[in-house]
Amino acid sequence: MLELLLQGFASLLDPLLLLMLVASVAIGIMVGALPGISPSLGVAIASPLTFVLDPFTGISCLIGIYVGAIYGGAIPATVIGIPGSATAVTTVLDGYAMGRKGKAGLALGLSTISSCVGGILASIVLILLAYPISQFALSLGPREYCAIAVLALTAVASLSGDSFLKGSLACLIGLFLATIGLDAIHGQPRFTMGSPYLMGGVPFIAVIIGLFAIPEIMQRFEKISQRSQPTMQVSKVLPDWPLMRRLIPTQVRSSAIGVVVGAVPGAGGDVASIISYSQGRNLSKNRDRYGTGEPEGIVCSEAANSASAVGALIPLLTLGLPGGAVTAVIIGSFMIHGLQPGPLLMQDHAPLVYQFFATTVLVNVMLLLVGLPGAKLFSRALQVKEYILLPIILLICIIGAYALRNNAFDILVMLGIGVFGYCMAKAGIPRPPVIIGMILGPMIENEVARGLLVTRGNPWDFITPVSAVIWAIALLPFYLPLIKLLFRKMKRSPLGAH
């Protein structure tokens, strides 16, 4: 393992590759720094532009944009009090308060260092756990994989938004989109409406761009303003060593929370930062200072959301399961490059996987090297007027949808899905589960077919000791309310009172 990891770091010494990774991290920070431009949107727009590169370089650039965008959300959270993305919601509480005290630069410095530390610690966990998890996954069969895929769907539906019903509806929409095209088992066309363009299925990249980019653009146009946001002055960025030494336990604890939460499909950096912030406040001796510019509050939020970004790569690389919207886009890029994430990737392409491990460490170091000196510059990106920025983003989306297959039909799919995604946003239906449903749909279908071959058509043989435990966890959102209702009735009954 150590030899492969060293080879992975050695492969990153190419000057052109290093330059592209620095540019990717910088672009990611810019994406995160612009309110309304989410990390998933940035990675979705960049994804088709990386297909001209080799698989390692292209996907590494997407990881760089991802890591940079997660951190970039802290910049507007600090200087204008508006989180650049959902992952920086808790950063506003202490970052903006510290900025109002004239310490916006210090708040950004803490955010940058905490994001770097959280990402590197999470990368170490990824390196240590990926191989054992993939080896265990290789011992599983189609019946267990089917249960794992359903578990991922129910987890995403439960954790995406406030309503399990709306999350489930979004997953079902994704599963339906995955059925369009030729049946992988019998070769029969399904829901193609006679169109030859749909025989190969709905174009995945066009759906991703349409679902994430177009609704965001439409919503931003609704409240577009020609005025720039007033920003705070960014001065001293680098914090003192005594302060950083005091914050080390908080960084380690928050990073651990971020890794665990990030590895849960559907949880994401926003959940990780909220849990970390609340835990940090409960354990702190200065809990009354939280929300007034407390450095620990910034560290709790930023270390956790950056660690969750790397933690989401654990199920992606070991099981082939997307941890969230961004990793769903990255999985699509893997597939288009001819790579199938999962345990076989670790077995068949081990040197490539360890190159990705080395990349996660390096881009977090680059985040520190780019973020600290560039804090003032990136904060000025908030001065870009939306009526200039949004048409440029729309043009890039159109080029990205067209570029993969040179097919104008993909642009129509992108625009149609975009309008549909806008309606979903208005109805409060989360959009990331649609993409995850599209990825897991074929996996479930194929594993069910393989499982029926193993069991000779007997569905009851799908229950094995391992799959039974997974199914029990997967179906928890369905029967847990019934159990709670039963306990309430037992407490209210005379027998329960005694």
Report the pLDDT value the prediction gives residue 232, as an integer from 0 to 100: 56
Instruction: Let me know: does 266 contact 159? Beta carbons within 8 Å.
Output: yes
What is the three-class DSSP state of 235? coil
Interatomic CA distance for residues 195 and 407, integer angstroms: 14
Higher pLDDT, 82 or 355: 355
Instruction: Report which DSSP code applies to 474.
Output: H
User: Does residue 365 have a pLDDT over 90?
Assistant: yes
Average pLDDT over residues 395-423: 85
Average pLDDT over residues 355-364: 92
* pLDDT tens-digit series, residues 214-257: 887 888 777 765 555 555 566 667 788 888 888 899 999 999 99
Report the pLDDT value the prediction gives residue 346, as an integer from 0 to 100: 80
Instruction: Let me know: does 307 contact 258? Beta carbons within 8 Å.
Output: yes
Report the pLDDT value the prediction gives residue 494, as an integer from 0 to 100: 59
- Listed in sequence order, the residues at least 6 apart from 387 whose beta carbon sits closer than 8 Å to its beta carbon are 224, 226
Interatomic CA distance for residues 262 and 276, integer angstroms: 12
Extended beta strands in 121-208, E state: 181-182, 189-190
Instruction: Report which DSSP code applies to 462.
Output: G
- Listed in sequence order, the residues at least 6 apart from 279 whose beta carbon sits closer than 8 Å to its beta carbon are 253, 257, 300
Report the pLDDT value the prediction gives residue 234, as an integer from 0 to 100: 64
Interatomic CA distance for residues 363 and 192, integer angstroms: 42
Higher pLDDT, 198 or 376: 198
Amino acid at 73: G
Report the pLDDT value the prediction gives residue 381, as an integer from 0 to 100: 65
Q: Please tell me the pTM assigned to this model.
A: 0.80
Structure tokens at 93: 């509480």
User: Does residue 159 have a pLDDT over 60?
Assistant: yes
Torsion angle of alpha carbons 159, 166, 333, 114, nearest 10°?
-30
Instruction: Let me know: does 409 contact 198? Beta carbons within 8 Å.
Output: no
Average pLDDT over residues 115-124: 92
Average pLDDT over residues 105-130: 90
Where helices occur in 240-380 by DSSP H, the ranges are 241-246, 248-262, 268-283, 295-311, 313-319, 325-336, 343-348, 350-371, 375-380
Average pLDDT over residues 130-138: 82
* pLDDT tens-digit series, residues 243-292: 888 889 999 999 999 888 888 776 667 778 888 888 888 888 877 888 88
Report the pLDDT value the prediction gives residue 123, as an integer from 0 to 100: 92
Torsion angle of alpha carbons 255, 260, 262, 268, nearest 10°?
-90
Q: Measuring CA to CA, which residue among 123, 21, 17, 47 is closest to residue 366? A: 21
Interatomic CA distance for residues 216 and 488, integer angstroms: 43
Q: Measuring CA to CA, which residue among 421, 365, 111 is closest to residue 237? A: 111
- Listed in sequence order, the residues at least 6 apart from 157 whose beta carbon sits closer than 8 Å to its beta carbon are 164, 167, 168, 170, 171, 266, 433, 477
Rg (CA), the chain: 23
Instruction: Let me know: does 215 contact 424? Beta carbons within 8 Å.
Output: yes
pLDDT band at 493 (very low <50, low <70, confident <90, very high): low
Torsion angle of alpha carbons 145, 150, 156, 161, nearest 10°?
180
Query: Which residue, chain included where needed, has tokens 């409240």?
Result: 223
Report the pLDDT value the prediction gives residue 388, as an integer from 0 to 100: 76
What is the three-class DSSP state of 182? strand
Q: Measuring CA to CA, which residue among 225, 279, 226 is closest to residue 249? A: 279
pLDDT averaged over every residue in the chain: 82
Report the pLDDT value the prediction gives residue 204, as an integer from 0 to 100: 81
Phi, psi of 190 (to 5 degrees): -130, 125
Instruction: Let me know: does 274 contact 90? Beta carbons within 8 Å.
Output: yes
Query: Which residue, chain included where needed, has tokens 């409960």?
Result: 282
Instruction: Let me know: does 393 contact 31? Beta carbons within 8 Å.
Output: no
pLDDT band at 18 (very low <50, low <70, confident <90, very high): very high
Report the pLDDT value the prediction gives residue 118, as an integer from 0 to 100: 92
Report the pLDDT value the prediction gives residue 160, as an integer from 0 to 100: 66
Structure tokens at 421: 């995604």
Interatomic CA distance for residues 25 and 29, integer angstroms: 6
Interatomic CA distance for residues 159 and 268, integer angstroms: 9
- Listed in sequence order, the residues at least 6 apart from 247 whose beta carbon sits closer than 8 Å to its beta carbon are 110, 114, 295, 296, 299
Higher pLDDT, 283 or 369: 369
